Amino acid sequence: MDGALAAQMGEAVAEKVLRYRRDRSGWKICQEGNGVSVSWRPSVEFPGNLYRGEGIVNGPPEKVWDCIKPLAGSLREQWDENVSHFEVIQSITNTLCVTRTATPSAAMKLISPRDFVDVALVKKYEDGTISSNATNVEHPSCPPKPGYVRGFNHPCGCFCEPVPGSAPPAKLNPRPAPSSLCRMVTWMLSSCCGGSTQHRASQRQRSVPAC
């Protein structure tokens, strides 16, 4: 894939997801508990809904990010039961790549295993926030594979941001101090209820589950 095109797509989806992050209007809570809330609102771009999961994690953003960053062999593959395989199809820069994520069958195998090919861009902001932003792309090195239904991702993303006023952990403390917190905000844009959209930063992680 052309690097300039991938960069353009990555920046476009990052800008879109950031706009959703800043716009607090119209969201309705559909599920909450254990410090986590999941909200939705109708999309103005397609006949479907947008979903947002948000929660507080005890730890600095860098440590939390290690558990969810989109890298092959990362910690996410170890704990996320919704990801059976993850690979980088094309590495363009250290923050931009094309990825393939495979998911297992679900609902007693009524839902077939699926895979998703995306342009993924990681961004860091001045306040310490780290975001992962992804959207569907076709790549010549990754045609549809036997045994998988190729899924389609609308623009989606995840924000890992420090909570204002929280202190960093003590240098000699092997565990994060209780006052060192970061907020996890995940985004999933779905064209229909129960659709095939698979959130790249995992809407089903233990810390921040979603619908």
What the chain holds in terms of domains, given with CATH numbers, is: 3-164+183-190 (3.30.530.20)
- How would you label 111-136 residue by residue, b for 16+ Cβ within 10 Å and e otherwise? eebbbbbbbbbbbeeeeebbbbbbbb
Question: Which of 171 and 50 is assigned the larger pLDDT?
Answer: 50
Compute the half-sphere exposure of residue 4: CA atoms within 13 Å on the CB side of its CA: 0
User: Model's pTM, two decimal places?
Assistant: 0.77
Using 50, 70 and 90 to split pLDDT, how confident is the model at 77? confident
pLDDT tens profile 116-137: 999 999 999 998 889 999 999 9
Question: Which of 196 and 63 is assigned the larger pLDDT?
Answer: 63
At 61, is the secondary structure helix, strand, or coil?
Answer: helix
Query: Percent of the chain at pLDDT above 90?
Result: 34
Amino acid at 2: D
The mean pLDDT of 153-170, rounded to a whole number, is 75
Provide the H-helix boundaries in the chain.
3-22, 61-66, 76-79
Whether 92 and 7 have beta carbons less than 8 Å apart is answered as yes
Mean pLDDT of the chain: 78
